[in-house]
Every structure is written in structure tokens, then in C-alpha cells.
Amino acid sequence: MLITCPYCGPRDVIEFTYQGDGNRERPDPASQNFEAWNAYVYDRLNPAGDHNEIWQHSGGCRAHLRVVRNTLTHEISSVAFVRGDHASAARRKAEDKA
Amino acid sequence: MAERQSPLEPEFHVGSHGNFEHGVEILLTETRPGSIVQLAAWPGEEKKLIAAIRTVTGLALPDGAGGGSSDGVKSVFGFAPGKFTVADEAEGLAAAFAKAVTPAIGTVTDLSHGRTAIRIAGPKAEWVLAKFFAIDFALPAFPVGAGRSTAHHDVFAQIQRTGADQFDIYVFRSFARSFWKALCHASEEVGYEVQ
Amino acid sequence: MSPRRTDTGGRIDRLKTIRFSFDGVAYTGHAGDTLASALLAKGVTLFGRSFKYHRPRGLLTAGVEEPNALVTVLKGEVREPNIPATMVEIHDGLVAISQNRFPSLAWDIHAVNQLGGKILSAGFYYKTFMGPVIGPLKGTRFWMFCEHFIRRAAGLGSAGSAKDPAHYERMNAFCDVLVVGSGPAGLMAAKAAADQGARVMLADLEPRFGGSTNWSNETIDGAPAADWARRTVTQLEGRDNVRLLPRTTVWGYYDNNTLAALERVSDHKEQPAKGEPRHRYWAIRARSVVLATGAFERPLVFPGNDRPGVMLAHAAERYANEFGVLPGERIALFTNNDSAYRAAIALKKAGAAIVAIADVRSELSPEMRKLATEAEAEIFAGHAVVATEGGKALSGVKVQRFDMVTGALTGDERSIHADCLLMSGGWSPTIHLASQAGAKAEWNAARQAFLPPKPAQQWIGAGAFTGSFSTAEAIAEGRAAGLAAAGGTSTPAALPTVEAVHGDPDPAPVFEIRAKGKSFVDFQHDVTAEDVRLAHREGFVSVEHLKRYTTLGMATDQGKSSNVPGLAIMAEALGKPIPEVGTTRFRPPFAPVSIGSLAAERFGDLKPERLTPMHDWHVANGATMYSAGLWYRPMIYGLSGETIEQAYVREAKATRESAGIVDVSTLGKIAVQGPDAAAFLDRVYTNMFSTLAVGKARYGLMLREDGFAFDDGTTWRLGEQDFLMTTTTANAGKVMQHLEYFLDVIWPDLKVHVTSVTDEWAGAAIGGPKARQILAACVTGTAVDNATLPFMGIVHGQIAGVPVMICRLSFSGEMAFEVYSGAGHGIHVWEALIEAGKPFGLVAYGLEALGTMRIEKGHVTGAEIDGRTTARDLHLDWMLSKKKPFIGSAMMDREGLIASDRLELVGLIALDNRPLNGGAHIVEALDETNPHGSIGHITACCYSPALGKHIALALVQAGKARHGTRAHVSDPLRNRFGPVEIVSNHFYDPEGTRMHG
């Protein structure tokens, strides 16, 4: 499986670390709503199909990526920096050969 | 001040090795820069950081991810969004940047001791590096000056192409000897010289 | 009569003689020979014994699909079993032996299994060795009892146990076009793509490029096809955008057009060149792939089809034309298609007599009749071979009239004297890689074959792979595929012209001749047509069940020759058409792959390791090194004659009495920088860091989101916006990722950068009553007295002329300091400290003494922060700030995490004065016959020189309330039982007077 890191280009999955379900919403830090915390820490969607996931390019630029991956086919339909403010650092199209 | 000790020393054997009877196709050396510094800009401050790099080193960074340049004495390249590695033959780069990179622009981290810079050069440099890293070393995909961050098993590496067939590899110091041994081993079949 | 070398012809070099041995007998062959062709040239027809029945077997094929002629190659002490003799290139000194025979290939005692053939049918072992329902050998125990004997009798070659000294390598490659297969289609594709300027890789599993051109009698552009191929290869060799990979099997087609290939770099050499690997594993990322993998010829299924001397028609053609070996003098053919006639002509030309051609079709085209006449062969149209004769070698065949529609055999059998029978049951395109790439093969009724599916990835097929069996089609398709793969458009240049024997590519739909006797479908696993029908009768009708019950297609050849005939027979039994029976999906690897090539450089001496700056000093000073993750750390610095315990007791004692020094460079170190660094640390740690003054350090604890303890360490405030965090050695990477995750994903608004600086700093911890005096003796630029350097204070100074940073903190419980210097100065500073410490009795100590002193102090490490313990369990609840939320704060007070019966950290003292064991359980009362009722377990233990006792840390249910009570260790595995006293985990100097000084 390859993941196309917006900074580094397409790299083998071995360079990445799965960092969990991208649908989790962290409750307000001061919140004492146990149900919300429980859902955040333990509940996972596990869909058969497109899944919103967080991957870290730990063996490369170390940025966190929001990856939409089909859990049935491994097909990746989109990859983007989790941080919106990194968008300007994305690899230019012309260099997309790597 | 005492000279910095190389982590490679017991495994650093100057001379020709491996299958060199038909010619040496790889040159290996440790470049031992006096300074290695990591610079990181806050989001939106990248241009100011790039300007600061130009002020301190005189090197202009080309646009785009992984862009970099080298004048043979100083080198700089991007390795992550807003982050750059700068190396200089001279010591004191971190102090120079501490002045130029204000807290409003970003941070300066001195890694002069923490990273070991190994240079691999020669007609078979791409061939030998391909044994370690799953990135495309061909010139069109990896132009001169550009940088890449990747990993070989657990060994993180930042690689800058500093010539058509020359690469500088920055690895964590603790892994350097192990990586060096592997690099020598992988170069044996084509014949290599340690300088 | 027997096979022999021809006087001329073939792609071998008759001037170069090569000496090798097979089963202890010396042979000679020529450069360009395989083990199979060289032995065949010497009249050897018996190559192996079959898997189950130990029937004599000869060569069926000339290539990678060979199911019978498996050999073991010996190289020194190393033995590699199950290699097809057809894939072994001979070299001087090659030693190969046959397999699955005892005492010899010709006289094999297990051959009696043939007499019991009816019994050893499909499922025999399952049925017979289920065992009685009761008794000592009931159920599977009976199988386990018998298995040893069965495994010895059945099976393939055995692997050796010697360490393989060969070197293997991994190579990562990128290309625009990967061409798999170098026959006419592959060569054309590679050339067309290369002409477009694409980066091309061309791989072929054979040593010789050219595929069928090496053995066909065809001409291309007026010259022998092989000359055309050689010219094309020479053109490709001269281009720097082309990489040619002979002897390279592309064995896996994975996601994202990533392919795996095995290059046999030096197996064909007597000795590899210096530094040359044996095998190279290629991980190839190709923009597009041209699959030009050709097709496999299928055997026909009829009684005695496995007798040595019966071989595939094209294989004989290869032996004659490629290797200059005639597989027999009097050759008969049996076919359901036209391609065998080409073989007849080739063998006739090479000097054999073609005695008969039996063709299941009663109507033959005039062209085929003409070819048969040319070959001077007697034609038996509408006939089938119903038996083969001879012992270990073929002496004749019997033919009988055959009705293709009903399968009926009529009329008299006629015997034909022949020493070789060539069979052709049609061709199956080699679609394995296309199938692996993720799509279902499609049955083509005309070709009677599975054709490649519509591509599920970026590949284009060409030639026989697509079911286009003629060379002219291969050339046209190859060029089109190469162009398309390179993104080019059609060029008007004329295609090379081919002169070839034209035949109908479609075979008659006949797979089996049902007559009396064993008819083999899967030669390597000894599966007969009757086994397939038996499986059907017993209800194993799905193709997947059929495969598992009969083991059809599960041998090392993965059914390359048997899959389609097996399916056809099952389809007939079910009364369904073949496509409805379906086929199993091909999976990697296409052909066996050496494990060495997969492990490559991760193995042995080349495994990555991490060394501290002081590593060489440790080794030179007698340290026994211990691997902690990838790090190497001193365990003890043993004096001669000392045991490990004596060494660590001496080291710990000396530290508590005078001073000790330990290398702590492996601790994880993370620079946390930026205007929000302090705020970030407040969120990450359970305790406050924003209140920490510059120049001071603080011990911190981190929890995970779920409220359990995660890691601990000290963090030093070096500047207003500049912190140096330390982590445990083992968790350095995990903590780094934890911090990065929160900064990137949860709190992107925080202006904080984290950087691993573990390798930037060398760390030496020096502790003991004399530690301060030693520092005072060597540190310049700063005082180290209590006022300048209080507990948890940080100062900057120099040692031996290099800058150091000193923090006064203690893990040993003594007055202690951590001295950090640039890693390149680490050994310089370490040696200066050792020198300064000499008058004070300073000793270097290792991990054992470090562990001993921390147990005495009751400090926790990863053994206690094991992912299941909370801060409260470890008595660290004083560190849980109530003034702020932090990671884990919302979840740490859940019911289960504050229950009163949780395991809590305690100390244990062995009351019987004997050593305790890590992992041993604690029970309230001792009952050696029933050692249940664990109330906890030991996490760490040692002999404590400070207490003079064997002590341990343990996690015990409601442990704090049990202080002062007795319990027992219960460790039945190590037979260690005995009384212990439960005490506080702070064994030694609980008030900390020693470290506060």
C-alpha cells in the first residue's frame, strides 16, 4: 500500500503509523461528560468501505495526515494534512514524480 | 575545545574495499560539519524563515517541498512542512540563527552533535542507496539540492542530493555506526573507497 | 535407446565443459545447460520419486512449472531442497541430490506404496488417522503418534539446519514500465517503451532472454527468431533507461502497482564475486506493467501419464532446440491441439524418429496432416493413448480409438514401441500476476483456458498471456502494450515479419482419457483423476474444498500444470461447465522464494543497533553489554571471576558508600520549544510545569487518554520557551509520537515544536556521598555547592574544556547529578569524570546496579508502568494536579480505576533469604498442590546490598493496606515457594535525606 504524503510524495505504508479513527471528537478538556469521553476513547466506526483515518508519516516528514481509505480495497481516495495551515507546504504537481 | 569524536571511528577504515579490482564505484566519507541546525517556522512564517536562512547562509531556497541548495560549504533543505535542516562546515550556526530567527518566526534546535553526516558519491551511489531506502533516487525525481526524509527500518534519515551522483545522509548519531557498516557492506559488490 | 546430446544445435557452448555431480555420480555438461538438460543428455530419465506413492518420475517440463524433477542443491553445509532441476544452471562443482527416496532413487523401499494405491486415495490420512474414540491414542493423539512415520515416508526434500552464510539483499526500484517476460511480446514491449524514453525494467525468470525464440524454428525478419531476440536484447543493453533482469522471477503483484521479484544473482556461479549477494529481492514500483508471461502447456490425463519418458511436447522441443538434447530416439505424440505438430517437426529435424501422433480429434486440418507426413509420423486421428509401458523408463504406449464427444474407447488397443511420449493438452496463459493484481480470470471456451481478467491495476497484457499464441500476434501486441504503457502513440514503422508454422490455437475440449490405471492430474502431490471424483462423491464439490481435500495444486509448483485439468474433471463430475465450477485465486508467490531474500539485511550483523557515545569505553572496560530495544547498555562491569550478582552488588555498594557513574545517554530527550511550550506541558503532564523556574527541573508523569499511566521523567526548563524533556529509554519514540499527535491533531493552535534530541546529548549520572566532591574537582565555570546547585537545579559549566549542563536529580537515591554534554564530547567528559573520581573510589555501574538501587528506592519503571496501572496504583496520586485538566484527567477517576481492590505497588522482602523471581505470583496462603488465588505478582527483584536481603517490587491487590503482613510467593514453573513480608515500596532512605544532602 502506498500513501501519497502531501509533502514527501508517494511512500510505502511501512513509513507510516496508523494513529486511529479520524472521526473522533475530543471533548472539551474540562468536560466531565463521561459518555462523551468514553465515546472518544473507545468507540470506533469500523465501516466496510471508505474510512476517515489519521496516519502519521513517522518515517518521513512526521506530519499527520487525514486519509480516506476504503477498508475493503485499500484504495485511498484522499490524503491531506490534518493541519490546515500546512496546506501551502504541499508538494508541487511538477515534482510529483517521486 | 576538545575535538568531537566521530561515532564511526572504529569502523572507519580509509582505503579501498570490497570488489574494487575493477575500479571503485563508490566513495564514502563522513563530512563532519561543524554545525547542523534544525529550523522550524510557525505556520505562515515560512517566508520569513527562508529569508533568515538567506541572511545567515547566503543560500536561496527554491520553492516547493523538499527544496534545497548547497554551496559546498553550507547546505540547506526542507524536510517537513515549514522545517529545514542547515549544515555548515563552521561551528556556531545555532548561535547565528538564534539572532536571526526570532520567537515570532520559529525555533532553532542545535543538532550538531546529534546527527552524523555521511556522504556517498560515485556512479553507483543511486544503486547502493536503493538497497536501503524506498524512494526514487533518479535525478528527475530527486534533483540536486533537494532533500528527502525517509527511514531504513528504524534508522531515520534525511538525505540531500549535493551532486549528480553525490548524496549527504543525516542519521541519528547513535545509529550512525550501524548504518555506516551496512552502507560499507552494501557497497562491497561495486568496490568502494573510504576517504 | 535413451536420450542423448545432439551433434549440433542448441544454445549451449559445446566447447565449454562443466563438471558437476548428481546423487554422488560425476557428470559433465556444457555452459548453457540446466541440471535437467545436462542429465537428460547423459541418458538420465529418472529424477525423483513421487510424493505419496514413490512412483519413479522423470522430467515433465523444461521450466519453472516442473512438478517432478525436484532436487536438493548442496552448498557446503547448506542444503536447499525442492528446486526444479529445470531451473538449476549447472556450474563447476555443483552438487545436487534427488529427494524422497531411500536408499536410492532406483531402489526405493517406499515404492511398495504403489501396491496399496487404492488405499492411499484422497482423504486417506484424514480418515485413517482420526484414531479410536477412547484409549491412550484416542482422537488426534493417534495422528500425532503416526505422523512422524508418515512424514518420513511422504514428502519432499528436507531443509538443512546449518546456518546459511550467503548474503541476501533488498533493492527498491522505480520505473515507468516493468515488462515481465522476455519472449517476443516482452522484448517488443520493452523496446517500444524504451524508444519512448520511458524508464524500463525487463525481467525474465530464465537466464536467457528471448522466451520461445530460444527454441522455436521460426524466423523473424528473415533470420532465426533467436538472432532477432539477441539483436533486440543488445539494443536494450546499450540504453541507460533500461534495466535488464535475467534470472528474475516476478512473484508478487501487490497494491499500487508494487511488484516483488527475486533475482538469483549468483546461484549459477561457483563462487559469488566479492560482496555479491546470492539473491536480491526487488521491490518494484512501476507506473505500468506489461505482462508478457506466456503460457504453460497442459498435460493430458490418462493412465501412466507420469512414467519417466512422458513429457510435455513443447518441453521436448525446448530440450532439442535450446539445449541440443534429444529426449528420445523413437518419439510418439499425444495431443488435443495443433501445437504438438510443431514439436514433431522440431524433433524430427533434431534427429529423432517420430513414430506416431495420436490426436483425439478425428478431423485434422490438411496443414496438420502435411506436417505429420513431413515428420514421417503415423497418424492416429480420433485416437487416444490409454496406457504407457515400461518400468522406470518408457518402452511403449498403447492407443485406442476414442470418441471425443462421449469419451468412449472402442476397438483394439495397439501397442507402439516408443522411448518417449510427448503430450499436449492445450495451453493455459500464465495469468498468475494478473490474478494477484486483483481480478477474476475469465474462462474462454474456444481456447479452453482461463484468460486474464480486465486489469484491476495498471497493467497491459501481450502475447500468449492474453491467449494470442502466435509469434506474429505476440510481436504486434507487445509493441502496442509497450507503447501504451509508456504513454506513447502508435508508430507507423512496420512490424517485424514472422515466418512460422500456422496452427489452430484452439484445442479440442478433452482433458482426460478414462481407462484403467492411475491417471495423474497433480504430479507433485500425486493426485489422480479418481481422487478428484472421490472428493466429489464425498461432497467436496466446491473448488476450494476440492483443493484442500485432495491437496490438488497445493504443492511447491502450486498446480501450474494441474489446475485446469483438475477443474475440468471436477466440472465433468458435477455436470457443470468449467466457468461455473470456478477457479481458486492465485496468490503470491508465483514460485518459491528464499526466506533469506525476504529477511535480507535485517538479519545478523547488519541488524540496526544504537550505541551511546561511551559505548567503546564500556566494552574496553569489561562491560557485559545488554540489548535494550535497539540500544546496547552495560549490564555489569564484571571483574574476573565475578558472577553477575557479585558484580552488581559491588557496584551498588560502592555507589552508596562513595560514588558511582552510569551512562544515561539512552534516555529519551525531546526539545519542547515555543511560546506555548509551558502551557503544552501543563496539558501533557499530570503536574504543573508552567510554574517551573528557568534553570530548574521537575519530575513529571504522563497519562494516556484512557487515564492509565503512560511515562515518567524529568523535564528541565532551559529558557522561558525552551524545555528539555526526558523520557524512559523504552518509551522515547512513543512519547514523541504522543506529543506530535496532540500538537498536530488536537491543539494545532499551540505554538510548540518538539524535536528528538536524544542523540544530541551524552548523559552521565554520577551519584553517591562523594559525587559532589568529584564534580567540584573537575567542573569549571560554575560552583556545584548546595546554594548554586540545589536539588532539581541546573547549572552550566565546563568539564575538561567542553561545555556541560548539570542537573541535580537522583534515581539512585544518593546525592546525584546528571551531567549532559554534546554527544561528540561524551567520551571526553566521561573519561574526565572517571579520572576526577579515582581518588574518591568512583565506580562505573551498569543496568543491574541501576535497577538494584531503584528497587531499593521504590522508583517505578516500565515494569510497573505496564499499561494497566494508574497513578494511584503506583502511589503517584500526589502528582495529579487538581488545578487543570490534563491528558487522561477526565478518564482517570472511572469506577474501575479507583476500585479498592486494584493492584498496588508494594515492596516484598523474602523471609526465607532466597532470591525472588520476576513474574512470580503472590498468594495469601501457600498450597503447593493448588497454587491458585493470586493476589498479585512481582515486577522487579534483586539482592539489596543496602538491606542485606532479597527484595522485590510487586503489584498486589489492595497492597498498601497489607503493609507489614505476610504472604507467599508461588512460582510453580520455577518451583519457588516461600514466605514474604509485604512492605512499602520505599525500602531505603524513605525520607530522601541522602539525596537532599
CB-based contact, A30 to chain C, within 8 Å: yes
Which segment of C584-598, C868-882, C924-938 scores lowest on mean pLDDT? C924-938
In a domain, C563, yes or no: no
Inter-chain CB proximity A11 and B82 less than 8 Å: no
Alpha-carbon distance C893 to nearest alpha carbon in chain A (angstroms): 10
The reported pLDDT for the residue numbered A95 is 45
Inter-chain CB proximity A7 and B82 less than 8 Å: no
Q: What is the 3-state secondary structure (H, E, C) of C463-501?
A: HHHHCCCCHHHHHHHHHHHHHHHCCCCCCCCCCCCEECC
The reported pLDDT for the residue numbered B49 is 96
Inter-chain CB proximity A2 and C256 less than 8 Å: yes
Average pLDDT over residues C2-21: 93
From chain A, the residues in CB contact with C748 under 8 A are 82-85
| Together in a domain, C704 and C688 | yes
Spatial CA neighbour of B74 closest among B139, B159, B145: B145
In a domain, C410, yes or no: no
CB-based contact, B65 to chain A, within 8 Å: yes
Least CB–CB distance from B149: residue in A60, A88, A97: A60
Looking at 3.30.2270.10, 1.10.150.20, 3.40.50.2300, 2.40.30.10, the CATH number of the domain A2-95 comes to: 3.30.2270.10
The per-residue pLDDT for range C416-439, each reduced to its tens digit, is: 999 999 999 999 999 999 999 988
**Neighbours, chain B (3 or more CB pairs < 8 A):** A, C
pLDDT band at residue C543 using 50, 70 and 90 as cut-offs:
confident
What does the block give as the cell for A69?
A: 481509505
DSSP letter, residue C742: I
Which residue segment(s) compose the domain that B138 sits in?
9-32+115-194
Inter-chain CB proximity B1 and C761 less than 8 Å: no
CB-based contact, A82 to chain B, within 8 Å: no
**Neighbours, chain A (3 or more CB pairs < 8 A):** B, C
From the first residue on, what is the mean pLDDT of each consecutive set of 10 residues in chain B (195 residues)? 92 96 94 97 95 96 92 96 97 96 97 98 97 96 97 94 98 97 95 97
Least CB–CB distance from A89: residue in B65, B140, B142: B65
From chain C, the residues in CB contact with A30 under 8 A are 885
Look at residues B110, B144, B174 and tell me which one is the last residue of a structural domain: B110
Inter-chain CB proximity A62 and B80 less than 8 Å: yes
Look at residues C447, C471, C496 and tell me which one is the last residue of a structural domain: C496
Report the C-alpha gap between C616 and A40 in whole angstroms: 48
Which one of C256, C751, C882 makes the best mutation probe of the A interface by having the most chain A beta carbons within 10 Å?
C256
Q: What is the DSSP string of C13-32?
A: EEEEEEEEEETTEEEEEEET
| Total beta-carbon pairs less than 8 A apart between chain A and chain C | 54
The reported pLDDT for the residue numbered C148 is 57
Inter-chain CB proximity A97 and B134 less than 8 Å: no
pLDDT band at residue A93 using 50, 70 and 90 as cut-offs:
very low
| Together in a domain, B183 and B119 | yes
Higher-pLDDT residue of C414 and C579 is C414
Inter-chain CB proximity A17 and C890 less than 8 Å: no
User: pTM for the full model?
Assistant: 0.93
Q: Provide the CATH number for the domain around residue B154.
A: 3.30.1360.120
In a domain, C161, yes or no: no
Alpha-carbon distance C170 to nearest alpha carbon in chain B (angstroms): 6
Confidence check: pLDDT of A16 > 90: yes
B104, B123 contact by CB (below 8 A): no
Report the C-alpha gap between C75 and C83 in whole angstroms: 13
B184, B14 contact by CB (below 8 A): no
Higher-pLDDT residue of C23 and C144 is C23
Confidence check: pLDDT of C549 > 80: yes
* Domain tally, chain B: 2
Which segment of B165-169, C112-116, C266-270, C870-874 scores lowest on mean pLDDT? C112-116
| Together in a domain, B39 and B104 | yes
Which segment of A16-30, C582-596, C652-666 scores lowest on mean pLDDT? C582-596
Q: CB-based burial of residue C123 (10 Å sphere; 0-12 exposed, 13-18 middle, 19+ buried)?
A: middle
Inter-chain CB proximity A19 and C741 less than 8 Å: yes
CB-based contact, A93 to chain B, within 8 Å: no
Inter-chain CB proximity B190 and C753 less than 8 Å: no
Label the pairing between strands C802-807 and C816-822.
antiparallel
Least CB–CB distance from B151: residue in A59, A63, A89: A59
Inter-chain CB proximity C890 and A62 less than 8 Å: no
Confidence check: pLDDT of C636 > 80: yes
Inter-chain CB proximity C199 and B186 less than 8 Å: no
| Together in a domain, B13 and B53 | no
From chain C, the residues in CB contact with B136 under 8 A are 174, 285
Q: Where are the alpha helices (DSSP H) in C509-633?
A: 529-537, 543-550, 563-574, 578-581, 595-599, 615-620
Task: Give the side-chain half-sphere CA count within 13 A for C249.
Answer: 19
Spatial CA neighbour of C209 closest among C429, C387, C11: C11
Domain boundaries defined on chain A: 2-95
| Together in a domain, C841 and C963 | no
The per-residue pLDDT for range C910-922, each reduced to its tens digit, is: 999 999 999 999 9
CB-based contact, B15 to chain A, within 8 Å: no
From chain B, the residues in CB contact with C606 under 8 A are 181-182, 185
From chain A, the residues in CB contact with C886 under 8 A are 29
CB-based contact, B164 to chain A, within 8 Å: no
Least CB–CB distance from C885: residue in A30, A38, A62: A30
Report the C-alpha gap between C601 and C599 in whole angstroms: 6
| Total beta-carbon pairs less than 8 A apart between chain A and chain B | 68
The reported pLDDT for the residue numbered C617 is 98
Inter-chain CB proximity A1 and C255 less than 8 Å: yes
Least CB–CB distance from C745: residue in A30, A34, A82: A82
CB-based contact, B173 to chain A, within 8 Å: no
Confidence check: pLDDT of C233 > 60: yes
Inter-chain CB proximity B81 and A92 less than 8 Å: no
The reported pLDDT for the residue numbered C693 is 98
Inter-chain CB proximity B82 and A89 less than 8 Å: yes
- What is the complex's ipTM, to 2 decimals? 0.98
Look at residues C496, C520, C543 and tell me which one is the last residue of a structural domain: C496
pLDDT band at residue C289 using 50, 70 and 90 as cut-offs:
very high
| Together in a domain, B144 and B170 | yes
Average pLDDT over residues C787-814: 96
CB-based contact, A40 to chain C, within 8 Å: yes
Alpha-carbon distance C248 to nearest alpha carbon in chain B (angstroms): 17
Least CB–CB distance from C824: residue in B113, B138, B187: B113
Inter-chain CB proximity B81 and A15 less than 8 Å: no
In a domain, C14, yes or no: no
pLDDT band at residue C455 using 50, 70 and 90 as cut-offs:
very high
In a domain, B3, yes or no: no
| Together in a domain, C199 and C284 | yes
The reported pLDDT for the residue numbered C843 is 98
Q: CB-based burial of residue C704 (10 Å sphere; 0-12 exposed, 13-18 middle, 19+ buried)?
A: middle
Cis peptide before C453, with omega less than 30 degrees from 0?
A: no
Confidence check: pLDDT of C493 > 70: yes
Report the C-alpha gap between A82 and C525 in whole angstroms: 54
Inter-chain CB proximity A61 and B140 less than 8 Å: no
The reported pLDDT for the residue numbered B154 is 85
The reported pLDDT for the residue numbered C127 is 63
Higher-pLDDT residue of A87 and C714 is C714
Label the pairing between strands B83-88 and B35-41.
antiparallel
Q: Provide the CATH number for the domain around residue C696.
A: 3.30.70.1400
Look at residues B43, B77, B110 and tell me which one is the last residue of a structural domain: B110
pLDDT band at residue C997 using 50, 70 and 90 as cut-offs:
confident
Inter-chain CB proximity A54 and C745 less than 8 Å: yes
Alpha-carbon distance A49 to nearest alpha carbon in chain C (angstroms): 17
- Give me the residues paired with residue C798 across strands: C780, C803
Share of chain C above pLDDT 90, in %: 83
| Together in a domain, C185 and C261 | yes
In a domain, C636, yes or no: yes
Look at residues B56, B81, B110 and tell me which one is the last residue of a structural domain: B110
Higher-pLDDT residue of C144 and C71 is C71
| Together in a domain, C179 and C279 | yes
Confidence check: pLDDT of C872 > 60: yes
Inter-chain CB proximity A63 and B81 less than 8 Å: yes
Scanning every residue of chain C, which has its alpha carbon at the shortest distance from the alpha carbon of A42? Answer: C706
In a domain, B1, yes or no: no
Which one of B61, B85, B139, B148 makes the best mutation probe of the A interface by having the most chain A beta carbons within 10 Å?
B148
From chain A, the residues in CB contact with C256 under 8 A are 1-2, 10
Look at residues C437, C472, C496 and tell me which one is the last residue of a structural domain: C496
The per-residue pLDDT for range C521-532, each reduced to its tens digit, is: 999 999 999 999
Inter-chain CB proximity B172 and C609 less than 8 Å: no
State the average pLDDT for chain B. 96
Which residue segment(s) compose the domain that C279 sits in?
166-298+427-496
Inter-chain CB proximity B64 and A85 less than 8 Å: no
Which one of B8, B174, B180, B184 makes the best mutation probe of the C interface by having the most chain C beta carbons within 10 Å?
B174
CA–chain centroid gap for A50, Å, is 13
Inter-chain CB proximity C171 and B131 less than 8 Å: yes
In a domain, B58, yes or no: yes
Spatial CA neighbour of C122 closest among C563, C538, C550, C567: C550
The reported pLDDT for the residue numbered C783 is 96
C210, C226 contact by CB (below 8 A): yes
In a domain, C959, yes or no: yes
Which segment of A75-89, C169-183, C253-267, C847-861 scores lowest on mean pLDDT? A75-89
User: Coil, helix or strand for C371?
Assistant: helix
| Together in a domain, C681 and C741 | yes
| Together in a domain, B119 and B97 | no
| Together in a domain, C804 and C948 | no
State the average pLDDT for chain C. 93
Confidence check: pLDDT of A92 > 60: no
Instruction: Write the CA distances from C601 to B117, B178, C109, C169, integer angstroms.
Output: 22, 12, 43, 6
The reported pLDDT for the residue numbered C548 is 86
CB-based contact, A34 to chain C, within 8 Å: yes
The per-residue pLDDT for range A19-41, each reduced to its tens digit, is: 999 999 999 999 989 999 999 99
Report the C-alpha gap between C462 and C375 in whole angstroms: 31
